[in-house]
Amino acid sequence: MYLLESVSPPGQRYIGVTADLKARLAEHNAGKSPHTSKYIPLRIVTYIAFSNRRQAEAFEAYLKSGSLKLQGSLCLGL
């Protein structure tokens, strides 16, 4: 699970899941994701490794559900 943030303008955030973070960041910054293409370049704010994809996707869904507000500093220790 990873959290990206736009460099300019700052503050646009995107949460996703991948097995290859380096390749996925390159895809985002190449404009290959319609959800982030208008905010490139993007930088990694944080990432969390899970022992399996199902756990990562469940945590991603929790973050995207609105149960946790991603405003200002994240409660993930940022």
- The whole-model pTM stands at 0.80
Mean pLDDT in residue range 27-35: 96
Q: Match 């097995």 to its residue by tokens.
A: 19
Could you tell me the CA-to-CA distances from 77 to 21, 55, 67, 70, 72 in Å, in that order?
20, 20, 17, 12, 11
Mean pLDDT in residue range 19-26: 97
Q: Residue 46's closest CA among 32, 34, 59?
A: 59
Distance CA 39, CA 13 (A): 9
pLDDT category at 68 given cuts 50, 70, 90 is low
Please state, rounded to an integer, the average pLDDT across all residues of the chain.
88
Mean pLDDT in residue range 23-40: 96
